[in-house]
Each structure stands twice: as structure tokens, then as C-alpha cells.
Chains A and B, each alone.
Chain A
Amino acid sequence: MAAIFQGVGAAAALSSLPSNSFDSNKSVFSPRRSFSVRKGASFAVVRSDGTVNLNPKGRRTQQLIPNAVATKADSAAASSSSKPGHELLLFEALLEGLEEEMERDPRVCVMGEDVGHYGGSYKVTKGLAKKFGDLRVLDTPIAENSFTGMGIGAAMTGLRPVVEGMNMGFLLLAFNQISNNCGMLHYTSGGQFTIPIVIRGPGGVGRQLGAEHSQRLESYFQSIPGIQMVACSTPYNAKGLMKAAIRSENPVILFEHVLLYNLKERIPDEDYICNLEEAEMVRPGEHVTILTYSRMRYHVMQAAKTLVNKGYDPEVIDIRSLKPFDLYTIGNSVKKTHRVLIVEECMRTGGIGASLTAAITENFNDYLDAPIVCLSSQDVPTPYAGTLEEVTVVQPAQIVTAVEQLCQ
């Protein structure tokens, strides 16, 4: 409830400010938004289990398995009430979340290359520049180090910038700013400054994009103290995580994936956010816990289809929160199934899977019946040739084999 009033209050404040920092002509609310506010829709908080159309345990063998590959219209996502919701693609969900937050809070601004007039290289910021003006949607020159630094400096004063890396790999140039300033300033200043910045962008292995454009930065950033990392995988959690990240007082890095932008899903009409530290139960099961995130979720679900036909019952959890790990959900699952398989897109060495393996072993060793198996990408620069690239990442067949071996 509080958030809705905040939203209305912010809207009133925006229109009454004589010296708006953006053009007030452009603050036209889209009909969808005002519709939901007028109806006084409750602030729908949906837990991660709520997003799956759960059947009671006895009927799980007849449970429908969502498609592993993109583009489907699954009404299971809009579960909070009987509202039909609306269908959109993942990048539109991100756009919607960003737009709603920008309307709600005038301190939110977007910085990045080609985010303004061009509309964003993956269309995540399409139309925002026209709506909010050049001071709130800022086209930067190609200077990641400095514009990330500028975003952090602005955040120190209380602005809430959303910095886009056109590809996550480009943010390596801003590593110093992200590590030393973004992550550490809250601590080294003794709590004086918070850095409510969101750094987002697409990463991961795409379709033959080449080595430098197929990087998985979550493995490099995971050690930085003071930041939070989340990875979205569906339009529902993309919008929810985007909104939560913007509202968070901590710096959040939101990892999107190049190949997931055109996923279609039905999401609720009302305002909702996803908990940043929570993992998502995709498919409950009994035999093995499969932990995954981002694109690999879909490879896992595809493998799950095969596994179910072979008589296995995997529990699939999309960990979503890469830092910190949701050891509560993961722990409960491990206690139930006693077997863990991690499927990730990071490289074997020093990836999220490596850290997750260590974390689970440390905390739940007594509950494990078998060593944790971690399937990761190969420790090679991603090759251009399509056949080689396919072998670099984990494929559903490998997941099936791994589960079979694990469950012997």
C-alpha cells in the first residue's frame, strides 16, 4: 500500500514542481499504469513459489512442464489473483519496470551508450528519452570507466542512476569504479554514503558473437564486497528484479542475457517487485536439486522434460540472486533431495557454480548423499564457429546424463 501512495504522491509532486528536472509535458502516464492505480489494486507481493502453478504433490507426474525454449504464453506466471495480466516480451518487461520506476521517483535516471535517442541497443530503453527528456535518459560517449564513475558519484548524492553496459563485457573497463567505489564506499565512509545505483546489461554466450562479446561477468564481480548481483530469466522476474533493484539502497548489478530478450510471458497488471535475495522454485521435485540461473534455466527445463519421461523427478531452482545466495531455499531443497546439480553458464574456474558448490558444501554437507556436480562452460574463449560454440556451453543432453549419474 505504501508504495502506491508513494507513487501517487510522487506523481503529484512531479506535476507541482515548478522547476522540474524533466519536461513536465512528457510525464504522461500510460493508460495501463493509471488504470491500476485508480483501481486501488493492492501491492501484490508474490513469493517465488507463487509464480508456478503448483499442483499438490500427488499430481506431479501429470504436471505440465513449461517449455524449455523461448516464446510461449504461459498463464502460470500471473498467479497472484485471477487477473488476466498482459503479455509481453522480456525486454518490454524490463522497459515497463524501468518506466514505472522513473515515473514513481524523479531521482531515477538512465545512463548508457545509445540508450536515449537510439532507444537502446536491445530496446530496453525504447521511448524513454522522448518521454522523460535528455536529462533523465542520457546518451553517453563510449567511456564506460567514466560514465560508470559518474553514475556512482551521482548516486552518492542520492540520485538513483541506472547504468547500462551495452554488453556486460564492456563493464570490465569500469571494473575499478564498480569494485572500489560502487562496492566499497558505503563501508569505507563508515556508512555515510549509500550507492543506490543499478548496473545492468546483457551478457552471456549469444549466437556466434565472438569471444569478447560472450563474457560472463558474474564470475568476476562476485567477490566484490558491498554489491548485490541478480540474474533475470523470465519477463516476470525481469520486471520484478528491475524494480526491486532500483528501489534498493544497495548497488545492484542486474545480469540480463542476450538470448532471452524475446521471451514472451503473461505478467500481472498490478505493481509488483521480486525479492532481490530470493531464489525461484521453477519445478518442485524429489530426486535431485538442480540449481541454475539465466539462460541455463531453459536448458535445464528442456532436460527436465526428458528426465521426467525417464522417470526422474528433478527439483529445479532458479537461484536468481547470485550474491548473496539464497541459502534458505537452496538448503531446504538439499535437505529434501540430498543431491545437487549446478548448471551454469560461467566458466568452470572461479564461476558462480564454484562459489555455490563451496557454500553448499560448507553449510549442508551432512545432507548430501553424493558430491555436488557442477556443469559449467568450458574454460575457453567462446569461439565463433557455431558448432564449437555449442560445445562450449552446457547442453540439455549433458544435464540428463549428469542427473542419471547422480541418481544412481
Chain B
Amino acid sequence: MALSQLASSSPSRSVNLLKPLLSAISLHRPISTDTTPITVETSVPFTAHQCEAPSRTVQTNAQELLNFFRDMAVMRRMEIAADSLYKAKLIRGFCHLYDGQEAVAVGMEAALTKKDCIITSYRDHCTFVGRDGTLLEVFAELMGRQAGCSKGKGGSMHFYKKDSNFYGGHGIVGAQVPLGCGLAFAQKYCKDEAVTFALYGDGAANQGQLFEALNISALWNLPAILVCENNHYGMGTAEWRAAKSPAYYKRGDYAPGLKVDGMDALAVKQACAFAKEHALKNGPIILEMDTYRYHGHSMSDPGSTYRTRDEITGVRQERDPIERIRKLILLHDLATEKELKDIEKEVRKEVDDAIAQAKENPVPEPSKLFSDVYAKGLGVESFGADRKEVRATLA
């Protein structure tokens, strides 16, 4: 009962009288940082393959739930805004939106530290934000401006943030999984005691290189966690048409797997924490996040030719990740409806400000075309006395 905690010990009768006063105060009250544990049960139990499923009861607290809400609101708003920007032709090329799947990004972050690595494919805007990427970097990169995280040279599919161990951002389906296993190898080599989460989709799950990489990771006992974000459609192809065995968590065969309700941020958090602990001791594990994307595969895909609008609205009504957290917050009285709406308004403003700032940002200089093709030099003195530069530019 957060409200009553703030009010001086007033009998319950006078709460009603105090409510207008309190609501005035509440506008200035900061987001609850209450860390008393709240126990929540996930709506769907975990299904396990070759391992013991973690418990359905998740420990959380007010601060975490409100952070989830806020972060997911930011992500949702950002993706919707990107949709408008794309239609306004400020974002070009490919733009793959993540709305609907936010719970995976926030739940994962809650279970990890910044020492753990995350690598994903092209649907990376929200994962980037989860890894402390700023909205300005996102919108500037999407619009091809200098302030973008890749200086405008990567685009929607190439977001990277080295200082928070976010390794992108990859356009070729499935190619990021061997890279992710390489990251896990480096972590084992350097004895980092950290893990790598390599994310891929249900479409990429049919790539051979996944199984190759999983095999090597299992042989070398690498702390790699392969996360299949199963949104049930590989672009326009439904999973039952693409995979003989759509039980992606079982596909690892010798590697244990866990199927998780990917629309429930707390379930995701529980599963990721479990997986991290497992991978550090026993090698690779597969997580299948049962999730859904509201948009089509990308902005050029309406998303309705291969699935019904009823299905989309159905999922939105029943399983929307933000609504879930909202209900949970309201149930435990951690904030009022109005406060949550205020948060959303604030988020909207934040996103709009970032877009405005990004629009002002200049495009990269023409000379930047040739920068960062190669890293400079060998790092050792190896040249003779009069070594000249190569004349022709082959950068």
C-alpha cells in the first residue's frame, strides 16, 4: 500500500479526504524505489528439455516492476515512432520493429549484468536500448546521422554498443549465433565468469550454422545461451511450414532447453537467470521465448497476408507484455492508473525530443566514407626508413 505508507498515519476513512491532496503530492513523488520483495507466479509454467525447469514463482519488487513498465513503454513508443518516421521516409531501407516482444529484452536485462554479452540479429532496436543505448543514438542511426551509434554507417540492422557488451545487430539470418559462441569462447578463455546470450528467431533456427556452433560450444563447454525468440513467423512463413519440429527448445538434442512465455517479463527474467547459472557450470543451453510481433516482419511487410488481424488483436488483448506489468503494478498498488499514464506521457515526450534532436543532427561527412574500413597500422614499428604511402585508394 504505497500511498498509505506516504500519508501520515491516517485512518482509512480520511484517505478519501486526503486523496486529492495526495494525488497532488504524487505528481512530485519519484518512481517507487521500494525493494521489498513481491512474489509473483508466472502465468504459464516452464517446459524443460533435459533439465529441471526453474520454479514458477518469481521474486520481484516495486522498483523492478516500475522499471520494467517504463523501459517497455520507452521501447514500445520508440518502435511506433520509428514506424511513423519510416512512413515519412526519414528512415529508409529495412526497419524491423520489435513491438510486442519487449518483455524479452527487459526480462533478459534484469537477469544479466553488463559484463554478460548479448548478440542478436536485425530486430535490435530494443535490445540496444536495453543495453543502455540512448534514444538519440537509435533515431540518429535510423536516420543515418552522425550521432548514431554506428555513426550513421550501419543503419537499422547494425546497432552496436561495445562498452555495454552489445555485439549487434546483424543482417544475415543466423550468422550471429557462431559469433555469439565465439564471444562465449572469449569469455571462457579470459575467465570472465560471464555468459553470452545469442538471440535468433524461429526462422534462423533452421540454419545449419546454429547446430554447428552449438556442437562446438557443447564440446568446449562454453558459457553460451542460445535464445530463440519465437514469434511464430519467419518473415511470411509460419513456423509449422518451415520447421518439421517447431519445439525449438528441444532442437539442441544433447543441450538442455527451456520453453518460456516470452510475453511475461518476469518469466523471461527467471529463465535467463536460470540459464546463466546453468551455462557457467554446464555449457550451452537453449531458451525458447514464446513471443509475438505486432508489426510485420519489416516495414515493407503489412503483416496481415499470412496471419489474420484477429490473431494480432487477440494476442494484443490477452498477452501484451506492457499490459501485464500494468495489471501487476495496479494489483499490488505500486502506482495509480494516472501515474502510469503520466509515465507513458513522459516517455512519449522523451521519444519526441530524441527524434527532434536526431532530425537536427547532420549527416556524416563525405570523407567519412573511407574511415573505419581498416584499423590503422600494425601497432609495431615495422617500416623501413623511407616507406611511402600507397598511392591509389583501395580502401
Contact = CB atoms under 8 A, between A and B. Distances in A.
Interface string A325-357: 111100100000000000000000000000000
B186 A159 contact: yes
Nearest to A49: B384
A19 to B, nearest CB: 5
A85 B377 CA distance: 28
A314 interface: no
Given A143-B212, A247-B378, 20 more contacts: A21-B190, A141-B212, A141-B216, A149-B175, A149-B178, A153-B180, A153-B183, A156-B186, A159-B190, A180-B170, A188-B169, A189-B150, A189-B169, A191-B371, A193-B160, A244-B378, A248-B379, A323-B394, A325-B392, A325-B394
Contact of A150 (B160, B182, B374): B182
Interface in A167-226: 176-177, 180-181, 185-194, 196, 225-226
Given A154-B182, A186-B372, A186-B373, A146 B212 contact: yes
B208 interface: yes
A362 B376 CA distance: 26
B200 to A, nearest CB: 13
Interface residues of B, number: 65
Given A150-B182, A153-B167, A153-B180, A43 B372 contact: no
A328 B190 contact: no
A148 B189 CA distance: 17
A158 interface: yes
Nearest to B222: A150
Nearest to B383: A275
Interface string A1-41: 01100000000000000010100000000000000000000
B372 A187 contact: yes
A152 B57 CA distance: 39
A44 B16 CA distance: 87
A359 interface: yes
Nearest to B196: A153
Contacts of A153: 119, 167, 178-183, 185-186
Nearest to A196: B375
Nearest to A145: B209
A277 B391 CA distance: 12
Nearest to A189: B160
Contacts of A50: 384
Contact of B392 (A143, A151, A186, A363): A363
B241 interface: no
B168 interface: yes
Nearest to B393: A324
A3 B382 CA distance: 10
Contacts of B44: none
A149 B390 contact: no
Nearest to B368: A190
A145 B183 contact: no
Interface size class of A (residues with CB under 8 A): 35 or more
Given A156-B167, A191-B151, A45 B186 contact: no
A190 B148 contact: yes
27 contacts: A21-B189, A45-B383, A45-B384, A141-B212, A145-B178, A147-B178, A147-B216, A149-B175, A149-B177, A149-B213, A150-B213, A152-B178, A156-B186, A159-B189, A176-B175, A181-B170, A188-B158, A190-B148, A190-B152, A191-B371, A192-B150, A193-B160, A248-B379, A273-B380, A278-B387, A327-B391, A328-B389
B392 A192 contact: no
A249 interface: yes
Q: Which 3 A-B pairs have the closest CB atoms?
A: A153-B182, A149-B178, A146-B212
Interface in B150-175: 150-155, 158, 160-162, 167-172, 175
A79 interface: no
Interface in B13-72: none
Contact of B216 (A45, A140, A248): A140
B341 interface: no
Interface of A: 2-3, 19, 21, 43, 45, 47, 50, 109, 135, 138, 140-141, 143, 145-159, 176-177, 180-181, 185-194, 196, 225-226, 228, 244, 247-250, 273-278, 323-328, 331, 359, 362-363
A154 B390 contact: no
Most A-side CB within 10 Å, residue of B169, B170, B208, B380: B380
A50 B387 CA distance: 13
Contact of B191 (A2, A21, A141, A248): A21
B153 A154 contact: no
Given A45-B381, A187-B153, A278-B387, A177 B392 contact: no
B149 interface: yes
A146 B372 contact: no
Nearest to A151: B182
Given A146-B212, A149-B209, A154-B182, A188 B154 contact: yes
A350 B152 CA distance: 32
Contacts of A190: 148-154, 160, 372
